[in-house]
Chain A
Amino acid sequence: MIAPAGSLLAAHDLRKAYGPTVALDGAEFSIHPGEVVAIMGPSGSGKSTLLHCLAGIVPPDSGSITYDGREMATMTDAQRSALRRSEFGFVFQFGQLVPELTCVENVALPLRLNGTSRKEAERAALGWMQRLEVDDLRGKRPGEVSGGQGQRVAVARALVTGPRVLFADEPTGALDSLNGERVMELLTDAARSTNAAVVLVTHEARVAAYSDREIVVRDGRSRDMERAV
């Protein structure tokens, strides 16, 4: 498969089934550097599976995914893990912060996993926490902060390594609209400022409005939508 010209991450004819349940049935996807693409669809349509396949978390049953010209299927698990550590960032619906670490330690974690010293990692983490307006939470544990604050900490954690692609799976799913919008503003602004591509899984049109382009997934098949202006 030849990826669309200039695309950073592209998928072609992806198929994935969990037992008898077909999650992806010939899905297509591509994203360019600095672009924000929303993957939309109803519950159970396969949008999270598509994100997991694109991020190299779950291998597809068939089809191909290329990242920066490299075929993901040819990479070993360790290589894919290294890719996720250094070039990808993740935000999940419930933040998935490590409850026993403080917020600054959570944000610094991906850098530390890459071998950065604790001091340096926490300095960089604090910088991102300031940008996301949560630096006052540095010494608090996730259990002591609100959902919106926790999600902003999770965004900071996703961006701290300077990823080229940010994967966000329902990042505002657990937040009220006000908090959700603030998180989206901060996330997209921060991503654009670093020229990171954002793969945004959501079922909310309000959230998808922050994207440059929308892809709708239904019954495992994807369809590129024209942005309604």
Chain B
Amino acid sequence: MSPGGWARDLRMGLRFAFSGGREGWLRVTLTAVGVGLGVALLLLSTALPNALSVRDHREKARSDYTYAPTPPPRGDDTLVIADTNTTFHDKDVRGRLVEPEGPKAPLPPGVDRYPARGEMVVSPALERLLRSDDAALLRQRLPYKVVGTIHESGLIGSHELAYYAGASGLADRIDGSQVARLKEYGSPNPVAERADPVLMLLNLVVIVVLLMPVAVFIAAAVRVGGERRDRRLAALRLVGSDSAMTRRIAAGEALAGALLGLVLGAGFFWVGREVAGSVEVMGVSVFPSYLNPSPLLAALVAVAVPAAAVLVTLLALRGVVIEPLGVVRTAKPARRRLWWRLLMPVAGLALLAPMIGKGRGNGDFNQYLVTGGVLLLLVGVTALLPWLVETVVARLGSGGVAWQLAVRRLQLSSGTAARMVNGIAVAVAGAIALQMLFAGVDADYTKDTGKDVQRAQMQLSVPDGRSVTAESARFTATKGVRRVIALSEGSLGDAAWGAESGPEKSTQVTVGTCAALREVAALPTCRDGDVFALSGSEYDQDATALATPGRVLHFSPRSDEGTDVTWTVPAGVRRADSVVDPTGMRRGGFLLTPSALPAKAAAQVGGQLYLSLDPAVPDAAEYVRNVAVSMDPLQNPSVWSATERSRGYDSIRTGLLVGAVCVLALIGASLLVSQLEQLRERRKLLSSLVAFGTRRRTLSLSVLWQTAIPITLGLLLAMAVGLALGAVLLRMTGTAVTVDWTSVLSMSGAGAGVVLAVTLLSLPPLLRLMRPDGLRTE
């Protein structure tokens, strides 16, 4: 067949697609909407790497951490900048106090001019938030006048909350970390971080798992209206087109839907891109301009989707005998063969097998083998499912009328049913494997902080020079604070700390009221003036030796200019056993009640406040932050959590969740379209069944069975493949294989839920189609 002939037939198909009247347009539109949704998701996926890279570049471009041991000298091109990040209602606010030291001080990206003292420039999202009614506490915390906006180039997302506020006197507080002097923004020594191979593996698998169902979905979408199309094709045969020509014309019709789908997909993507700029998912937002698909990948989508439409149609029509008259589908299609369907998952396992036991320590995983292996295993689901459905439904016995109608329908055309649930099965198989992998490596990326969140939920340091007692009292009086444990902490050594040799032995010293000290040690009796030497600490080896009455010890100075302050271990020092303190540690060294601390030593210990909040006051943490900032603008009290997780791991997990929701919604939409299409095809039959008295309940139940049987089989297969893939992935990362049945069942449940929702949504149209109007022919 010449390319010219191919083109002619495809063109004819294209024309037929649009000249079929209302019916034809509806079919093309349904196909195009399906393909369009898939294309939009593909374009979005191709745009995501770019979006993440732009975010990363912007973050690096505005970096103001120097970590320099000595700051550069003050000049007309320097700036002092202080990190004043805060949190408001669980949302991070990036805050900076800035003090340009000359006219040539570098401007941060996205800022036109420096705000004066008492003024600030803010991100649009922060500006909106500050204007809102529920931001009164944040307005108190940021009492600066808004004089400008941070432009897009200075932000990493449309919903980022950020500000630069003018300040003075920051130079005195330069410490190289929280407060720094800069000559330019940007990371001074950019170091390419070596990606964790397991995180890379997770990333790869997440992408494959999310994109596979989209591909399956597109393949299903181009076959919308297949049955009716087959009947139309018979008419073409009647007027003289040969079998191959007819198939090419059919492919041309599918091509029409795919091409229109590409246009719609571009439109959906454009709309989605704008919408993406206005939403925030799990704390991540982007600007629409970040979401530019890579031109090469976009071109690939533009070529692959129409090509796939043609190929899928030609493949689908392989088993259809289009005759000029009547029956167009072979009444009994050839039985599906298992051997080649098994080849795919087996080949997938074979690709992954060499990486089993590699673990984290042996370099990167081969991404081609990983992608290929996972892809083949998941494609294996789509190949095995039609065989499984055919084999099982062939053996199903008869039951009630609804069951019989459903089983017989599945026996006659199990391929359609299997195609409908293929997407769900692939998504569930992938999700189960990923959940297993996540659950398996979770412990590696989740650290127990050891903090006792029952005893305290927030912590902050009292700035040097401030009275711990007074600040503790301020927080005690703060709304929502139930209790404050105030402890001052320092170190004692057996020699002066400034001396060249320094102390040989040193230990910890903790100062607090008897009530506060009881949080760190078991004290039988305690009065102000008492001193205790602690035992029971895991790491403090020197305490016992130093706790000799009469021994002179030296306080560790809090700054380089600090003077040597000594303290003599009193004769009345008593022994006490340490207990696990709120931070999860067993302290060692000395416990001093306030009167036991020499007045000169007050500056040598740093105050820490551990706050217990009242859960009945929802804004308790915000009140605390406001009081802290009023005490010192550089204060950012930390909120305790029992565990903390790696950021990279968390963002991959977030990505999976967001992607899984999108994919399931997409598949649900596709299922619904296919379901409605099938019902529409059977409208006349449904009406005649109702005419001779079939209960609507019977027909509804039969529709439910028709979906429930293949989905049950699909989910069982998905569980088997998902568990196999999950086990292999875990073995690859060198992790013990365990099955998290809750995740497996919840993933399968989510898949089943989508099907149930689709069936319920298709019931009203089903009831409408069962109306006797369907019998009208004139």
Which A residues are within 8 Å of any B CB, using their own CB? 18, 43-44, 48-49, 52, 55, 57-58, 81-86, 88-90, 92-94, 96, 98-102, 105, 109-110, 112-113, 118, 141, 143-144, 157-158, 169
B698 to A113, Cβ gap below 8 A? yes
- Top-8 shortest CB links A-B: A85-B693, A96-B688, A84-B693, A100-B408, A57-B772, A100-B412, A100-B409, A90-B692
Report B656 CB to chain A, min CB distance, Å: 40
Interface presence of B398 (CB below 8 A): yes
Which residues B102-159 have CB closer than 8 A to chain A? none
Q: A90-B691, A98-B685, A98-B689 are in contact. List 20 more A-B contacts (CB 8 A).
A: A48-B775, A52-B691, A52-B772, A55-B691, A57-B691, A57-B772, A81-B690, A81-B693, A81-B695, A83-B693, A85-B693, A85-B694, A86-B693, A94-B684, A98-B408, A100-B405, A101-B404, A101-B405, A110-B693, A169-B775
Indicate with 1 or 0, residue by residue over B677-689, a CB within 8 angstroms of chain A CB atoms. Answer: 0000000110011
B778 in complex: contacting residue of A44, A86, A96, A157, CB < 8 Å:
A44
Assembled-state Cα–Cα distance A217/B228 (Å): 34
Q: Which residue of B lies closest to A21 (CB)?
A: B778
Contact A89 B692 (CB under 8 A): yes
Alpha-carbon distance between A144 and B412 when the two chains are bound, in angstroms? 12
* Interface size class of chain B, counting residues whose CB lies under 8 Å from the partner chain: 20 to 34
Does A113 lie within 8 Å of B776, measured CB to CB?
A: no
In contact, A141 and B331 (Cβ under 8 angstroms): yes
Output the least CB separation between B73 and chain A (Å): 87
Main secondary structure of the interface of B (DSSP, over half): helix
Contact flag A96-B694 (CB < 8 Å), given A58-B772, A101-B405, A112-B401:
no
Known: A52-B772, A98-B405, A100-B408. A110 touches B692 (CB 8 A): yes
> Which residues of B are at the interface with A, using a C-beta cutoff of 8 A?
327, 329, 331, 398, 401, 404-405, 408-409, 411-413, 684-685, 688-695, 698, 772-773, 775-778
Residues of B close to A96: CB separation below 8 A: 684-685, 688-689
Chain B contacts of A158 at CB under 8 A? 692
Asked if residues A113 and B695 are in contact (CB atoms below 8 Å), the reply is: yes
A144 to B773 CA separation, bound complex (whole angstroms): 28
Give the complex CA separation of A160 and B411 in angstroms. Answer: 25
CB distance B776 to A48 under 8 Å?
A: yes
Complex Cα–Cα for A96 and B698 (A): 18
B695 proximity list for chain A (CB < 8 A): 81, 113
- Docked pose: A88 CA to B693 CA in angstroms: 9
CB nearest to A92 among chain B residues: B688
**B694 contacts A113, CB within 8 Å?**
yes
Residues of chain B within 8 A (CB-CB) of A99 are: 412, 685
> Which residue from chain A places its CB closest to the CB of B698 in the assembled complex?
A113
Smallest beta-carbon distance A217→chain B, Å = 12
The reply to whether A88 and B331 contact each other, CB–CB distance below 8 Å, is no
Between-chain CB contacts (< 8 Å), 19 pairs: A48-B777, A48-B778, A52-B772, A57-B775, A81-B695, A84-B691, A84-B693, A85-B693, A90-B691, A100-B408, A100-B411, A101-B408, A109-B401, A112-B404, A113-B401, A113-B694, A141-B412, A143-B331, A158-B692
Q: Given the complex, which residues of A lie within 8 Å of B778, measured CB to CB?
A: 43-44, 48
How far, in angstroms, from A43 to B688 measured CA to CA in the complex?
Answer: 20
With a cutoff of 8 Å between Cβ atoms, the chain A residues found around residue B401 in the complex are 109, 112-113
CA distance A113 to B701 in the complex (A): 13
**Residue in chain A with minimal CB distance to B693:** A85
Residue of A nearest to B412 (CB): A100
A169→B772 CA distance, assembly (Å): 14
How many angstroms from the CA of A49 to the CA of B684 in the assembled complex? 16
Residues from chain A with Cβ under 8 Å of B327 in the complex: 143-144
